[in-house]
Structure 1
Amino acid sequence: MASPKRAVLRFKTRSAPKFSGRLGRSFKWLSPGLSVKRWLFLSALGVLLISLGLAISVRLTPIFFVIQILQTLLRQIAGVIPRYVSGPLVILGGMLLVWWGQTRTLGSITEVLMPESQDELVDRLLAHRRLNRGPKVVVVGGGTGLSTMLRGLKDYSSNITAVVTVADNGGSSGRLRREMGGLPPGDIRNCLAALADREKLITELFQYRFEAGNGLAGHSFGNLFLTAMNEITDSWEYAIAASSQVLAIRGQVLPATLSDVALWADLEDGRRIDGESQITAAKGNIVKIGCTPTSPPALPSVLEAIQEADLIVLGPGSLYTSIAPNLLVPEIVDAIASRKIPRIYVCNIMSQPGETDGYSVSDHIKALDAVCGKRIFDAVLVQKKQPSALALARYAKEESHPIMVDQRNLVHLGCRVILANVMNEDPTTQYVRHSSQRLARVILRWYDRVHTLGQRPRK
């Protein structure tokens, strides 16, 4: 008796015959079970009737051998019913059959390609074409701010590249990094989930954290999934690319570098703090940020994406622990600075305790200029309207305050300021976050305006 494994293989061979070449691929449409052949035949019959109707209308009967066989019948019909009536009737019947056949053919195809979708195939195709024509956008950052941005941008373009920081050393990512080596998967996981076509389900799955289990407690499923993919493919770059295919994301997610980067910060009181998660917890004024090893090499795919980009966005996100780590890769800074395209920095709405206490918008810009050694963006997007009094009171308890828009200093720095309402405030918790849709809409409108005028934004 054949083993179960061989039996399965034999069954697959019988039920899924192999076709090779263009002709073979065409014959696949005639395979049993697709419910396509009958509707293709119906369409062909409709085309035939249209031809017959045209022949009757213009008195070209007979024009083919088949029409010669039907000559007598057609003449009898034409004798009873005038040709200017019978011809259009036959044409109409043929058109109805073509429409019916093609509709059912597309319906059968849709059932296979989108079995649970309520959308029409033509709507999906139109959306796919529209998104493919969208601008090539590179977004640099990390944390929840980057994933927030991506959720909005993916509705306007599928040509998105998220450049993600790899300096995280806390939580589940930090544990996996210490125990397994390689990159911290947390920010990569968030970006993949944000760009996934079925975002809600994928986000719930990837963000699920095990509450029990020896060694599992505290880990998120997404982090374990990416770590396993890295073990299988033996490369983080391939692991992320393979995960992107599995999740059918719009765009791509790339780590800024494949180096094992450790972040450090010098504080105003003379302390040096090692580790991304320890920097914020130190509660000091940061005067310098750096990483070990110094000047890590950029991932070549990141540099390629920047060179092909139409728009570059920095942030939103934690200034020193989400955005700055990407800019500690000199090749990324040089690549962004060399591009003569719209480049915009999205400033946070509220200050971050232990990181940007008392910072204004101009302080954020000065900090980024110091990290890069040059200005790499043309404009800064700032929240226009302040949060509610309840939200301000809630944040004040955490020693967090709205980031002040100091117009005079910004003018002195030569940076264009874009004021817009891009904020969402949770009415229950009073938490303030960027709105994905508003943020993407404002940025792309600014890009369209600059692109249409054919000018770079004023510095």
Structure 2
Amino acid sequence: MTNGIDEGAGFKLVAIGGGGGVSQVLQGMQPYHGNLTGVIAVTDTGRSTGVARELGGIPAPGDLRNTLAKLARDPDDLLARLMQYRFVAPTLPALDGMAFGNLLIAALAQMTGDFGQAITIISTMLACRATILPVATVDAHLCAELADGSLVETELAVRGLNKPPLARLFLKPASAPANPAVLAAISEADLIVLGPGSFFTSVLASLLFDGMIDALRTSKARIVFVCNTTTQPGQTDGMNVYAHIDHLVALLGPGTLTSALINRSEDLDPAILAAYAAEGVHLLEPDDQELARIAAHGVTPLVRNLTETPSGKRELWNKQDTIRHDPALIGMALWKLILDQRL
């Protein structure tokens, strides 16, 4: 693998993970150049997404819907807002809280017989400012072996609370192939960004599809991990930044992951941090010793203040709130990395 920048053909960035994290990376990179591709997780089985999966017999549409809407040419346009609109239907539990965009993706996938084509059609309708691809177009489920040897199936159970730590992830079916368009994008990329987002159920889950690991190992791109700002209940309880990177290196193999963008926030309100901690969401604060261990793994730690300034906890639909990255700060950090490599 050669980690360099192809300046002749135009710089190409590929971001891999869940809808929220990939959107932050792509939005942050918008001011710098336009050759951007988002590769989105498809194993979610959450409430609205889970119903749409059963209805259409499709991979998870939720993260894709969210990314498409956020990367629309005009996110405030009627269609972009309609993609995110959730039905209020208390007498119809299956539809109560259903995102319209999930149903649209399911309908187009059935009509065309091609999940990937459905995403392309909606991307065109929204005039998206990046290429948005599902990591796979097959209907596969995320499963895990826990530290006590027990097994859990489907993404909702994998991220469930009050269970032993996750020891091993796998897919059903085990040989579920990655989207060929994704593998092609990885082969042509100059920079590949993993995360931020749900570490096990979005980032690592996306790498399990057949062909993804080999594509990353043989890519000419620099591969950068954007580490989460906090732990995530049910997934990374008790894990520090080093543990996240150790998991990635074990999966990808030595020498594949080149750098890690690591947040070190200053002046966060102790009352807000305490409110998050009460729900099991703890700020990741690597010290110099931990950063040295990361460097010894062959991964260059790049420490920046990368968070937006939280004004308080937010109530999210069927999701755990956390301290979020600021897309502009991620974009600046990645662009500096690109410029440093060109010197």
Structure 1 residue 323: Cα displacement: 0.3
Aligned to 2:300: 416
Contact 2:272/2:312, CA 8 A, preserved across alignment: no
Q: Distance in 2 between matches of 1:156 and 1:340?
A: 21
Aligned to 1:299: 179
Structure 1 residue 157: Cα displacement: 2.6
Measured against aligned partners, the alpha-carbon deviations of 1:76-128 in whole angstroms (never above 9, x if no partner) come to xxxxxxxxxxxxxxxxxxxxxxxxxxxxxxxxxxxxxxxxxxxxxxxxxxxxx
Q: Distance in 1 between matches of 2:32 and 2:87?
A: 35
Alignment of 1:301-340 (within 5 A): 301-340=181-220
Q: Distance in 2 between matches of 1:432 and 1:313?
A: 20
Aligned to 1:433: 324
Match of 2:150 among 271, 292, 309: 271
Q: Distance in 2 between matches of 1:384 and 1:411?
A: 16
Q: Find out whether 1:206 has 2:83 as its counterpart.
A: yes
Q: Which structure has the bigger radius of gyration?
A: 1
Aligned to 2:21: 145
Q: Find out whether 1:389 has 2:270 as its counterpart.
A: yes
Aligned to 2:241: 361
Measured against aligned partners, the alpha-carbon deviations of 1:431-458 in whole angstroms (never above 9, x if no partner) come to 52100111111111111211x13xxxxx
Measured against aligned partners, the alpha-carbon deviations of 1:348-379 in whole angstroms (never above 9, x if no partner) come to 00000111111111100111223334553200
Contact 1:333/1:376, CA 8 A, preserved across alignment: no
Q: Distance in 2 between matches of 1:194 and 1:330?
A: 28
2:302 partner amino acid: I
Q: Distance in 1 between matches of 2:114 and 2:30?
A: 26
Q: Find out whether 1:444 has 2:339 as its counterpart.
A: no
Measured against aligned partners, the alpha-carbon deviations of 1:53-92 in whole angstroms (never above 9, x if no partner) come to xxxxxxxxxxxxxxxxxxxxxxxxxxxxxxxxxxxxxxxx
Contact 1:276/1:321, CA 8 A, preserved across alignment: yes
Structure 1 residue 179: Cα displacement: 2.4
Q: Distance in 2 between matches of 1:204 and 1:425?
A: 25
SS in 1 for 2:76: helix
Contact 1:138/1:160, CA 8 A, preserved across alignment: yes
Q: Find out whether 1:172 has 2:48 as its counterpart.
A: yes
Q: Distance in 1 between matches of 2:55 and 2:255?
A: 38
Aligned to 1:285: 165
Match of 2:107 among 228, 233, 246: 228
Contact 1:143/1:318, CA 8 A, preserved across alignment: no
Q: Distance in 2 between matches of 1:324 and 1:318?
A: 9
Query: CA 1:325–1:370 in structure 2 vs 1: closer, same or farther (change >3 Å)?
Result: same
Q: Distance in 2 between matches of 1:375 and 1:187?
A: 30
Query: CA 1:373–1:289 in structure 2 vs 1: closer, same or farther (change >3 Å)?
Result: farther
Q: Distance in 2 between matches of 1:252 and 1:246?
A: 13
SS in 2 for 1:343: strand
Q: Find out whether 1:347 has 2:227 as its counterpart.
A: yes
Q: Which runs of 5+ in 2 are unaligned?
A: 1-8, 315-321
SS in 1 for 2:38: strand
Structure 1 residue 422: Cα displacement: 1.1
Measured against aligned partners, the alpha-carbon deviations of 1:386-408 in whole angstroms (never above 9, x if no partner) come to 43312211111012211232123
State the aligned residue count.
Answer: 320
SS in 1 for 2:152: strand
Q: Distance in 2 between matches of 1:361 and 1:428?
A: 24
Contact 1:262/1:293, CA 8 A, preserved across alignment: yes
Give the structure-2-normalised TM-score: 0.88
Aligned to 1:243: 122
SS in 2 for 1:417: strand
Contact 2:264/2:285, CA 8 A, preserved across alignment: no
Contact 2:143/2:155, CA 8 A, preserved across alignment: yes
Stretch deviating more after TM superposition (185-194 or 207-216): 207-216
Structure 1 residue 267: Cα displacement: 1.3
1:135 partner amino acid: F
SS in 2 for 1:199: coil
Q: Distance in 2 between matches of 1:354 and 1:298?
A: 26
Measured against aligned partners, the alpha-carbon deviations of 1:15-66 in whole angstroms (never above 9, x if no partner) come to xxxxxxxxxxxxxxxxxxxxxxxxxxxxxxxxxxxxxxxxxxxxxxxxxxxx
Query: CA 1:352–1:203 in structure 2 vs 1: closer, same or farther (change >3 Å)?
Result: farther
Contact 2:55/2:106, CA 8 A, preserved across alignment: no
Q: Distance in 2 between matches of 1:160 and 1:191?
A: 13
Contact 1:205/1:221, CA 8 A, preserved across alignment: yes
Contact 1:136/1:309, CA 8 A, preserved across alignment: yes
Aligned-residue sequence identity (percent) comes to 35
Q: Distance in 1 between matches of 2:190 and 2:252?
A: 21
2:181 partner amino acid: S
SS in 2 for 1:209: coil
Match of 1:407 among 256, 267, 291: 291
Match of 1:156 among 25, 32, 36: 32
Structure 1 residue 203: Cα displacement: 4.5
Aligned to 1:183: 59
Greater relative contact order (Cα < 8 A, sep 6+): 2
Q: Which runs of 5+ in 1 are unaligned?
A: 1-132, 454-459
Q: Distance in 1 between matches of 2:177 and 2:254?
A: 19
2:88 partner amino acid: E
